[in-house]
Amino acid sequence: MHWSRARHLALAAAVVAWCGVHAGAACAQMANSIGIYATTSADQAEIVPAPVAEPFNIYFVLADPRTSSGTPVTAVDGFEFRVRMTGVRENMFRLVEVLPPGAINVGNSPNPFDATYRCDWSYTTPMIPSNGLATLMTWTLFLIGAPSTYYMYLEPTSPATIANQLCYGYRAGTSHYVRAATGTQALYSQPVFAIGAYLDPPVPGESVTFGGIKALFR
């Protein structure tokens, strides 16, 4: 069946309209979501192929933090979640773990394949999100041996400050609050980041634009 350009553009408009209604499902990053990315702009949740014998960074990013009333959060000062990684353990090394200045982790994070974070820096300078994003933590990893596949998961800690939820802390005036956060997948059993493979389902990325959709049909 051959479609005219007008029908292509009509379909593109319908897709963009659907994304406007279902924002956060598959079209854009969800508010109050925490994910793992290859960039601080939170637009790449996979590294393919897996880099071997060279250090590389991954970033734990809080996207679009908002209060319960929908107001954008302007001062982040803590986070809580568990990180799990699967893959060949003897070939993967975490060289560096970078937390925000003044942050203290009372969780247990020496093992990058199963690390818990209960981080707080509420008594120092809070983090101000930039373009709706706050980089909570950075890991520098190093992979040796034959290229292999690694998957990473974000899960609630046990026990969790908010039951069965990731969470982060923020300030509003002189008060401190804890806010629930979602992962970037529908289930905690689904990986949020992959090294040497593509995610299925993929993690939502940047918002879809009408121009971007039109390009698919040219």
Predicted local distance difference test score (pLDDT) of residue 21? 36
pTM: 0.82
Kindly tell me the burial class for residue 185, based on how many C-beta atoms sit within 10 Å of its own C-beta (0-12, 13-18, 19 or more).
Answer: buried
Closest CA to 61 of 156, 169, 183, 190: 183
**What is the domain class of 29-205 according to CATH?**
mainly beta
Q: How far apart are CA 58 and CA 188, in angstroms?
A: 19
pLDDT in tens, 64-80: 999 999 999 999 999 99
Q: Is 53 helix (H, G, I), strand (E, B) or coil?
A: coil
CB 133 within 8 A of CB 181: no
Pick out the chain residues at pLDDT < 70: 1-29, 205-218
